[in-house]
Every structure is written in C-alpha cells, then in structure tokens.
Structure 1
Amino acid sequence: MDGGRRGNRQTTRSAHRTAGQAMSLRFRLRSRFAVAVTAAAVVGGLVTAPAGAVIGDPVTTGADTFTARIQIGAQRACSGALVAPNWVLTAKSCFAAEPGGRAAGPQKLPAARTTVTAGAGDLTQAPGFRAQVTDLVEHPARDLALVEFDGWAYNVQPIAIGAAPEPGEKLRVTGYGRTSDTWTPDTAHTTTVTVGESTGATFAVTGDGDNAPICKGDAGGPAFRERDGKPELVAVHHTTGLRGCLGAPEDATPGATETRVDDLASWITSSTDRRSLPASADRWIRPTGYMCASRYGTRLRWDGRYLSVVDWAQNRRGGVVTDNEGSEYLHFHADGNLVVWKGGVQQWTSRTAGHPNARLECGDDGGVSIIDVDGKVLWQSGTGPVLHARTEFDYGAKAQLAPVCASPDNQTRLMWNGSYLGVYDAAGRPRGRTMNYYYGGDNLHFHGDGNLVIWKDGKIAWSSATANHPNAQLICQNDGDVVLRDGGSLLWRAGTSPQVAAGAVARLGISINYLCVSPDRRTKLLWMFGELDSSDGWRSGGPINNEDLDLVFRPDGNLVLVNKAGAVRWATNTAGHPNAVLRCQDDGNVAIVDGTTKLWDTNSRPTGLIRANTNPKLCLMVVGSGDPVMTEDFLCDHSFWTVNPEGPIHTVFHRKCMDAKGKGTADRTPVIGYTCVPGATNQIWKPGPNGSLVNPTSGKCLDIPNGSTEPYAKLQLYTCNGSKAQRWTLPAPLPPGQLDPGIRKDLKGLLASRAAE
C-alpha cells in the first residue's frame, strides 16, 4: 500500500493521547474530535477500538475469508481471525471496560450482544456465517483472546499458525476498521507491512507509505504471510500511531505494533479443543454455549432452555433435555454430574455424581458421553450410533422423541416418545415402531444385562428379549436398521432396513417384528403372531392346529416357518442360495433375490393410505374393535388399504371390508369393519363426484360425522353433499377383475366353512 488515505487525513487541535500509545477504550477525548467519533459510532455501529482499520484496498471477493468482524452491541467493533471452525482469535483489549460490563457467568462475555461475522469481505453481501459469541478465553499475558461462537464455519477455511516473523519481512494485514475516508466501512481492507523491531511478545510494523497501516476497528485483525499459496497467521493487531486514519490527532505517527501468535499454537489448540472436558474444570454455561465440540462439529449445546446435540451445520441430532420449561444454567460439576439448574433445583441430571475423574466427550460419530477414568461409559446422549448396555440408559414417560441412537449419516434414528420406540429418518418420518403403542409405556430402559425394555406399571410392556448379554451394544446403522449385538452375534434387529441377508433372522417366536421396510417406507413385511404379512396384502397363512411357529431365514436362503419340533410348515423354497437377501421394494413387492436373480416374491398388489380432505394429516385405520377411524399420521404405516374396482375396500392387515352396518341405508348408518362377504351390497363403494365414495344400494356417501378434523372420528353413511367430509384420496385400484390374493384366501375359507355347516 502507498498510504492511500493520506489525502483524506483529518486532524484535531486537542488530542488526549500521543501517537504510539496503546489505544485503550478507557481514554476520553476532550475535544471536537471526541464528539465526532462518538456521533459516527452511534450512527455506524462502531466506536474506537484498542488498535485501529487497515489503510489499504478492499479485499478481493472470496479472498481472506478468515478475516472476521466482532460486533459488541451497537457501539463497538473489532476484527479477528478464524483459527478453528467455531473460534476467532482477536485482541483481549477489545473487551476491556466495555459499556455495560461483563455478563454473569464464567465466560466473561460482554453484557451487550456480541456477534462474529466472517466468510465474506463485504458485509453488505451474504456472509459465510454470522453467529452469536458464546465464550471468551483470554491469554494471561498477551493482548489476545479466543472467541467461541454459536455455529460452525464449515464453508470457511480457518487460517493456520505460522512461524515467527523475520525483521524486514513483508506481511499482509486485514481488518474491518475505519479507513482514511470512512468511519465504518462495509468491506475488509488489506495492505502490506514491513516487520520491524521485536520486543518478545510484540513487534513493530510500518506501512509502505507515510501512514499507519492500521486504524481503529482493526484491533485483533490478522497479520499473515502467504506460503505456497496458503496464509499463515503470524500476529494480530495491537496498537497504532493513527497517521492517515480518519479523525487522527495532529501528532499521529505512522507506526503500529502486532501481538505475536507464532509461539502460541499449543495455547490456541488446547483452548479451542473441546472434544473432552474434565469434570475438574467445573464448567457452567449461562445463557448459551457448548460443553464440548468434536473435530467434525458434534457439539453439546445449551441454549438456556434445551440441551441438545447438533452437528457442523447446526442440525439437531437429538435433544437430551427437550421438555424443559426454561432453566438458568447448565453445569458439569467437579463430581462428574451434568446438571440443568433452575432456582437452586435440579431440573435434569445425567446421574453421574461421584466420578470426579470423569470427562465429558463429544465424539466424531455424533454422540456425547461421560466417561470415567477407567474407560467405563457412565452416560450417553443417545445421538451416536452405538449405545452400551452398561450405561443403564433410561428415559421417562415425559420424553418427546428423545434420541436413543443415531446412525453416522443421521438417517436412521431410534427415538423414544414417552410411549413407544420408533425408527425414523432425519426428516422425522417413521420407518417402523415397536408394537406396544396402543398401550404406551412409563419408561424405556436399556438394562445392564443387555435387555432393552419398555416398562408399564412396573411390568414389561415390550422387550428385545436379549437379557444375559452385559456387553451388548445397540447400534443404529446407515442402512436404516437398528440392531443389538454382542460381539459378532446378532441378538435383535428392528427390521427397518430395505433388506436382510440369509441367516440374519433366527427363530422369531410369538411376537411382532419387521423383516424389512422399503426405502420409500411404504412396503413392509411383518412377522405377526405366527404369520407373515406384507403391506401389499400378501399373507403366508396362520398357524395350523394352534401350533406355535417360529420364523427363520436360514443361511441357505430359505425363509421358513417351523414348529417347535423343527418341522417346516411353510417355506419360500429358495434353499441353495446362501447369498440371497430378502428385500422390500419401492414397487410394493417383497422378494428374495440372489444377485440379479429373483427367487421368490409376494406378487404385489397396489395398496396405500386413505386420507380425507378434512385433515390431510389423518389417515383411515382399523383399530382394535375392527372399525375404521381417522387416526394420527404416526400410525399410518399400519393403515394400508386395497381398493377393488369390483366394490370392496379392505384393510391389508386386518382383512376387514368397509361395511354399512346391518345393511342400513339411512343417514348416519355407521360404517364398520366386517368380514368381507362376496356379493354383499353394503360393502360396495364406487367413485363418485368430487372424490366421494358412494354405496350404490343406498346412494349415500362415505362421510365423516360433522366434518370432524380430530383423530378417532368414525365413519357413517350420509346424503352426498360434496363437502370435505366426503372427499377422499385413495390408493391405486387393483387391476380389473383381480381380487386380492389374501382376500381370495379368506373368502375360500369362509365359503368352505359355510359348506361344512
């Protein structure tokens, strides 16, 4: 730079300071100059800073994006350098005696809201990021401070720490301070400086012309060299002589000083590395901040109300405390206990007291743990892919979609909602659930013996039946499945992946389990109390003579139902294919394939959801009584229907047809679920105008009473009127003349029983 601000240099008759002095914010100017600075600061949002802006040119678009602006309330600003994805290095004096003082809490933050902006040299353009400051770490001996912010600069490359500067070496400096003609520039500026005399912790620099290279507002900005095309941070701006800066005193000088950082790489690394926090740190956070952060952005975040785990893009992997009514602070106590406090009362705790040598650790896999000195896991956040039985993980009934585990890609999440377990994708869409949701549960507990249990009224409502495996691990996998393993042994699987390999299903007894779920989540194969049921309407057939049957997908590729004596009662006859997989497909079919060869399938039929226009978030489902009702979206994955163009509309799982009760034809005749009967006119429904379904015998429409939008509304016959209560969205119908195979089988059984009578 050649002193480009010289032509706009301004002076004042009375200056409180002499050139070269440290630009402390505690000084007061008793002149018109002081008045001018204050006025400009109020309008522009910037006042004096310990070191002053760079006298130079605006940075090139996309260059020097590590240069940061730190805004302290509406009155003050400094510059800084991004040295880690969530940390900026700046001057400690930026925060000295600031207006409003410091906020309560150990972070020593300014009372005024403080933000960091970086990633774009022009503040009028969209920045790479803008985030609130959450922590401040000051160097004990130098004018340096590390500032943590509430975000992760994943699209901005931090600057590395370089070697010590040499006398006479040329460095570049950048900053957001004032220029020779602008109080509060919107762009970062840059110029070249020459390294001068060093005093150990600082060294002098001079610009290429007669002006000072930095001005007010540049305090904490970077001084760096470029080596092999990459920037290396050498120092940050400390003091300036102000010559050439807008509003400079008449005795201003051209010099400036920089605070060295080349010998502080270990301090910067240790201060910004929050992967592991020892209990001895006795750290507490108020109002917001992070307890730990992994190298790849996994952070345990406290926002004054919720304790959650977020990733590098600020996406929540899961909430640890999600039903909190607002608390005062989060504290990782010296005894190893992580506690949310309010009014002197514990609102939540990790229940890990008595472990003073424990550490809180944010893992690169997305999980957060409290680990004792001997390596024993004491507590886990439930947001990593693996949950250890020995942690005795427990969630109560108040949890709202609380995480149990999450796959590395965050696309498979096992969640507890205070009533049932469900497997969800990252968008919160269900892949499958445990089958006790009709009854709910009091708490979920992963016992130390390896058994995953939902408790209700002191009794087991559901379990994985995996006790006696204290080394078991619950694992959320990228393929959409959740499994329990003990070493190399598979103990249990949720069955929510699109496919399962031969040999991976061994003797499922009298229970309800998924075998597979298609990528689009519509095609499902379930094992239900001795029978296989597919969402496309296919069934394997129930137990014979009330035998207890087990399901086995044998290592040879044969899927079989066997009795307790081992006799095969049903099979896909696909033996001889050890590489076979059972697969749920998006086309509605369930198949066993070996490579590209299809060995067996369910010969799919079109199925889908029935929804009403009154509330598109509800779907039609048959409940325990057998009657169809409108129910919540989260139950819709067991609410598939088959539409027969010949008239009957029946459920896939319950084998019930929609039936006008008692063959009634009057308004308000209940529509119930009833055994499908060939030729029954009260079970025939034809498409009518405006999405209606009409019973030809009565001429009445399928109707939701009073147009209810609430769950569990029943159905009735009513005079067709074109209202939303009579408008339906249906799945594609069966091909003409083709009756669903499951219904055909049911009808054969019904006709045979009638013939026997």
Structure 2
Amino acid sequence: MPAIRPRTAWVTGVLASAVAASLLTSLPANAVVGEKAKDGTYAFTAKLDIGGGQRSCSAALVEEEWLITAANCFADNPGQGAKVAAGAPKLKTTATIGRTDLTRDGGTVANVVELVPRDDRDLVMARLDKRVTGVAPVGIGFNASLPGEDLWVSGYGRTKDEWVPDRLHYAKYTVGAVKDTSLSLTGKSNDASVCQGDTGGPAFREIGGRYELVGVHSMSGQGGCFGSDEADTNKDASDARVDDIAGWIQTVSSRNLLSRANWKNAAHMASGYFTGNSAGGKRRMDLFVVWKDGSASLYQGADHNDPKYPFSAEYKVAAAGSYWKDARAVTGGSFTDSGSDGITVRWANGKLSTYTHVDQNGFHDEKEHAYSDTWKRARLITAGRYTANNLRDDLLVLWDDGSTSMYSDTDTNGVRKESQLTKADKSWTEAAQITSGEFTGKKTADLVIRWNDGNTSLFPGVDTAGYHDRIRIRPDGSAWKNAQILTVGSFTAAANRPNDILIRWADGNVSYYPGVDASGTHSEVQLVG
C-alpha cells in the first residue's frame, strides 16, 4: 500500500487495479480521510517523497535517526510483494518530520540513507542522514492490541476531496481481528478511510498524554478516497503489527545511539530506573550523563535482551551551559517510597540536593539537604542499600581527607544519622571512583572503589558498622587506571543480580562488565570504541 502520487500513467494504473482488488490480498495500504491535524499534533508522523515525486508514503519517527514505515513503499512492484533489499534505497527518499502543514517551514527534512527490512511482514526501518530534534518519537508498544481497542491513525495521503493534501490527517479506528503479524482496523466515523499516501503511517494508542505505536499501515479498501469508485464502500484497513517485534525495532534504532556522542566529554554518570519500568518489567536501567559543557542526557534502558544495545533512546534534558556544569559529584538512587529513582548532587558551592524524579522531560522536585563549606569537602558520593531500609537508599560519602561517612536515613527531608565508617586516611585519598551495587548477595549493598593505580576493590555487605571484607577484582597497575567514570546497574537485563559495572575510559570508549561477583569481572561488552 505504498501511497503513490498519481503523477504518471503507471500510478493511475496502480490506483485502478487497487479499486478492483480485494482487501488484504493484493491492495497495498494507501491516505487517512479524517480530521486535519492542528499544528504540532502527532508530529512524529513523517511524509516520505520517494524518487522525486514518483511515490509518496507516510512513516513514524521512532528514534531521532530512525523511521518505521511499510516495506511496500520501496518495493520494485508495489502491491505485488513487500520484499526490499537491505541498504540504501534504490530511489532517493526525502523525509519531512515535524511539519503538520507541509506548506510551512519548521520541522526537519532529511534523506533516508539505509533500509533495514523485516522479512516476515510489510515493514522496514529507515535511517536518516541527520538527527531529528524538537519532535518526540512515538513510543513502541510491547502490549498486543485487543479486538475492540480504539486506536488513532495518521498520514499524509489523499482525502475524500484532495488529491495531494498539504496537511496531516488523522482518524480513530477500532481493532478487529489480531493475527500473527497483522491487525485489521475499521473506522469509527463514516468518513474514516486509509488512502493512497498513508501507506507506512502509524496506528497508535494514547496513554496518559504519550503515544505508543501499535501498527503500520499496510493495506486498505480505500472506500471514500479521492479517485476511488463511488460504489466502493470498503474502508477497512490492515496494519503490520509491531508489539511482537518491539525488541527488534529497539535493537535496530539503537545501533548508533551511543556512538553519536564524544564520550571523552562525559563528566558524570549515574544509573537508575528514572523513566519507569516497561510492560512486564523487562526494561533495563537508564543512564544519566552530565557532559563537560553543562548539557545532560538521559539514556533510556532498553526492553530487549541484546547485550550490545542496553539503551533504546537518548533524551536531552539540559542544554550546554546549564547549571549542571557546576555538578561535582552525582549519584542515582531511590530517595522516596515511589519506586522511581532520583539523583543526588553535590554542587561546587557546597550545596547537596536531590531531584526525587527524573524523566524524559527533565528534573523534578529538587530538595536541598545542605549548603555549607563542609559539603565542599565531599569528594565522592554514592547511593546504595546499606541499611535495612529496602525502600530508600543511603548515601555514602568519601571526604577529601580520606575519611568516609554514611547517612542512613536520607530522604527528601535531608541527610541524617551520620555514621563515620573510617577516620581520615591518606591512602583513601587515592580513591578515584566509588559506586554501589549488588554483587555478593549480602543483606546490604557492596561498595566498589577504583584507586588511582588501577587497583579496584569490592567491599561486600557494607553497613553502619563499616567495611567487613575486601575483595580485589583488579590488581595494582591494571588497565582500570584508565577507567575515568564507573557506575553500577542492571544493563544486561532488568533487575540483574549480580549487577554490571559500566565504564567510560580515558580514550572515550565505553564498555560494561556483566554479572560482576566475588570472583571478579568476566566478559567485557564493548559499547563505544
């Protein structure tokens, strides 16, 4: 159902055969007759121009560099199969994203430079030659649609009275039969119809103000579309399903996610469940990064299990030059009883504060705990489960004189109940990084310390009484002396125990070690470099 603009006799022939064809057999899905979208509405819907006007399709932005659309749009013989070769498209393809009214400026215009087809359905991923900013990608639904569920559909195809419309249209549909790779849709209103030009457009649900992709337009009856037979009243459509391949979509769209950044410029990293958990609890931990220019990124943990791609999206949550340039120590942890992690920061001016919630939209509910010269001496901080409180993490601090303290009742009201774990110790001033995790199965969390000489030690089961044992997982002089930033999290799988250690190296490479335990680190997974 590649929407083909009828500017040639060949296109007219396709349209004529489409009118006579039966639904879901040989008719490729093609435009949404419905309401005109207001500016900025469903901005993730993209318009595709294939071959300089030879074909026209719709698509959906699923990541800043990736669209998802119908494979039929790029097939040699649209309507006679959706097989497409991987690689660059045969015809030059231009995508317009974030421009509800095509006659206006704004949004992003980019070229499609790579196709990654899905062989078992009419579906293809399309990589752009530039990142799309200012438009929130549509989420990927992992929950199967159910018969009777209402969905929204959108597209740039023809309407009942427009051959080449300049504005995005949308309509509400109801799900009918749900098959292994497809689902059928019926319009909720009399004028709802998927027409030529809508091929590859999204069908999506709305959940609390966010949108979740359910299907991609593949075939339709086109009843009521401009140019169709007046006697043709078939307005049903068929979409390719995405819920059962949501992990594959994330894997493809996150391939070059981390490599886009210069990781030598990462100043701080913190892990946690910031963006919430996914359906079924499959999502891995998120990663918060503060860059040297004061900007900040939130990398959302992926829902699939491919160890090479632990994150599925990047959200810019602070711009260059922001107040984050004054952060001196950062840690992620659970500081409320909400189940969502936050971020605690020691600032250059001696302020210690916590953001109780962090998500794609930024930082929320900052609570100031302390503001004094004393906290300027807090060189390294980490949050972990060091007491019996399983709902909130505790804060462990390494001071500039080599002493360490634990604050075991840290919450939104402040840091309280200080326990001094060690007195001033010159040797501890050689500690370069500290981070907390679950490695040994003790009742409380373990502390990881990376020293300047590369020695890296694991202190199992730290509590208010101090450190009870020490396990060296990297010897003196090891390559870990080049590890600039360490953070611990579940990057291999959700709630992975033992935890993984993620490292940003001095040369800008990024890797992690899955399942660290008392026997040390095991295989390394290279993410960047």
TM-score bracket, shorter-length normalisation: 0.3 to 0.5
Instruction: For CA contacts below 8 A with separation 6 or more, give which structure has more relative contact order.
Output: 2
| Higher strand proportion (structure 1 or 2) | 2
TM-score, normalisation: structure 1: 0.31
Greater CA radius of gyration, 1 or 2?
1
TM-score, normalisation: structure 2: 0.44
